[in-house]
Structure 1
């Protein structure tokens, strides 16, 4: 039976600042993000998850998270470029405002095949990459327990992949995948065939007293309005 655990990285500087964070713009985890990853490590150290393989995105925020939890899983980390977040190409390292001013604000709903910037991905190409990558990993580690430390966009895309939804348009739903949350898919035999079952989504039990806040999202940055904060407000602020 194949078990797939997807872990989102801890809170990163790109989550609290409007920065386009590819390999250049990604400055790794905030102190809060480090604490979140350490809480997850301590949780996994009790043997809750007996993994056979540990795969991680090489982007600094995911790489750092994987390195923090690795001692609990006692596995080498396999870095895989294909589980990176949505690739932003020439916008890497820019603020959202700079990127939108130079390349235009993204409109994924109406133009899902338009790259966000030169050398970057569109919604369609991102979804295709995630689908191809999941297929490759699942086939390579059939009947194994797989852990992938990755990104919110990748985790969100798994729902479209496993539910066989259209991938060239955005779904009429939204996701709020929290930092260091665990999403668990399991392949089971039902109705005469192999099916994927969702056992858990957004499991952040290890953050019971420090929580997870809403990340900066691209749509928060409006070049014509000051209605959205550049940095998300903490609870109670």
Structure 2
């Protein structure tokens, strides 16, 4: 599931959130309500995996308390895409020209990155590893992952990952299963479970 509303998400909608931005009171309420909905649906994970960013770990702690599920050590594989330093906290109207130029060319050169940022190639590799790790955890039971928009709100595989996924269809299936039904919304965001192996 995606973390609750964070300070940057509330004060700077559509901005690249800064790594240390915490949950707001609204975000805490969203996570509590989602946890209660999961309890109502008798959906209790055996383990919670989380990004190490504060907005995700705070969400995971709330879920853990309400659902009575343990949290695995935070894993950087589930962290948000590392935005370049030049856009942190900025909304699209405020992006510097350097970022706009890079953004328009990034699909042609997926190995490129601006200072402090993560290339699409690096993100793709990390996402594939995150899916594999989640699938491994699912071998032990139901898994709830607390992550960020880049992993939750996108179709799987994302368009920039699609070529690689077509070459390795089994990985694409694992990625699809990561956000398979049943779903419960957090602010209209997806909550998914890695299914137990059959």
Do these two structures clear the TM 0.5 threshold for a shared fold by scoring above it? yes
Question: Of Structure 1 and Structure 2, which has the larger fraction of its residues in helix?
Answer: 2
2:115 is aligned with 1:151: no
Structure 1 residue 100, shift from structure 2 partner: 3.3
For structure 2, which runs of at least 5 residues remain unmatched after alignment?
A: 166-174, 190-198
Structure 1 residue 103, shift from structure 2 partner: 3.8
Residue 143 of structure 2 aligns to a residue whose secondary structure is strand
2:2 to 1, 4, 8: 8
2:50 is aligned with 1:52: no
Matched-pair contact (CA < 8 Å) for 1:22–1:92: no
1:82 to 77, 86, 89: 77
Task: Give the Cα separation in 2 of the matches to 1:152 and 1:73.
Answer: 23
Q: For residues 15 and 31 of structure 1, do their structure 2 counterparts lie closer, same or farther at Cα, with a shift above 3 Å needed?
A: same
Residue 4 of structure 2 aligns to a residue whose secondary structure is coil
Matched-pair contact (CA < 8 Å) for 1:50–1:145: yes
What pairs up with 1:1-237 in 2 under 5 angstroms?
Answer: 7-16=1-10, 17=12, 19-23=15-19, 26-46=20-40, 48-78=42-72, 79-91=74-86, 93-96=88-91, 100-101=95-96, 103-105=98-100, 106-107=103-104, 108-115=106-113, 117-156=114-153, 159-160=156-157, 165-166=162-163, 186=177, 198-201=180-183, 203-204=184-185, 212=188
Residue 104 of structure 1 aligns to a residue whose secondary structure is helix
Task: Give the Cα separation in 2 of the matches to 1:47 and 1:198.
Answer: 16
Question: Of Structure 1 and Structure 2, which has the larger fraction of its residues in strand?
Answer: 1
Residue 199 of structure 1 aligns to a residue whose secondary structure is coil
Larger radius of gyration: 1
The count of aligned residue pairs is 172
For structure 1, which runs of at least 5 residues remain unmatched after alignment?
A: 1-6, 169-183, 187-195, 214-237
Q: CA RMSD in A?
A: 3.3
